[in-house]
Chains A and B, each alone.
Chain A
């Protein structure tokens, strides 16, 4: 951060940045963060990369189905293996 920049404001705003990227922050504080970012390149990058961090995890592929062997052992533990046939038997 530049020598002229007041770091204390960066630290104060840091705790609100997740709410900011989630759109959960009150309007006045949003404007304050945006005004700060206009003057602070480091905070602009932190907000941008924090948002990208969240988005990257949102685009992870959805959960795969339960592996069949795991499912069969679970049914056995639950004493339900007689209820439905395994996928390979259908």
Chain B
């Protein structure tokens, strides 16, 4: 005999029911929120703060905020987008506390044109559509993201790793879609440079 569908299963499969449960303060709603989105939000927090203990603290702060402030979710965006915003805010706040206060996380660093001009101009033989990512390549990809400035990293993680649309990433980051595009482009160019050192057949730094 199949197992009966539990209340938790219903909340896990029906976003409308989940939002309603959260709005009425049902503890099962918050439990389902963790079960459904905990892995995604932890992954984002970990990539932004780059430390498992700090990521866990961010995750806890984010879900405490989400469960207590559910009344501020008006349903105009997807629940996941709203939760990405809460988590990203918590992660960036955490970095502000952890780092030198004079470092701005609101504006992209490395704004000089020279920093984003392509310098590595060797071809890559890698075929991402065919490529089963080796452990080594995966580490190279993750390390390259870690080396991005925080504001660029957050935009890149949400847009190109988590797969949010430009508009969703803009809402999650509290910036305009145009600003997301600028940060994303700078992040991609910076990553391309870093990956070239590993993937390029013949790295050929451009000469001025």
Contact = CB atoms under 8 A, between A and B. Distances in A.
Interface of A: 1, 11, 14-15, 17-19, 42, 45-46, 48-50, 52-61, 63-67, 70-71, 73-75, 77-78, 80, 83-84
A18 B184 contact: yes
A58 B191 CA distance: 14
Interface in B43-65: 43, 56, 59-60, 63-64
A66 B58 CA distance: 14
A83 B28 contact: yes
A63 B45 CA distance: 12
Contacts of A63: 39-40, 42-43
A8 to B, nearest CB: 12
B133 A65 contact: no
A67 B191 CA distance: 28
Given A46-B121, A60-B133, A60-B138, A18 B185 contact: yes
Interface string B27-44: 110110010001110110
9 contacts: A18-B185, A45-B122, A49-B123, A49-B199, A52-B124, A73-B60, A74-B34, A77-B63, A78-B67
B141 A66 contact: no
A74 B196 CA distance: 39
Interface string B123-137: 110101101010001
Interface residues on chain B, size class: 35 or more
Contact of A42 (B8, B116, B121): B121
B189 interface: yes
A21 to B, nearest CB: 8
Given A50-B188, A73-B56, A57 B196 contact: no
Given A58-B128, A64-B39, A70-B56, A14 B117 contact: yes
A84 B28 CA distance: 9
B206 interface: yes
Nearest to B120: A49
B161 A46 contact: no
A53 B196 CA distance: 9
A56 B126 contact: yes
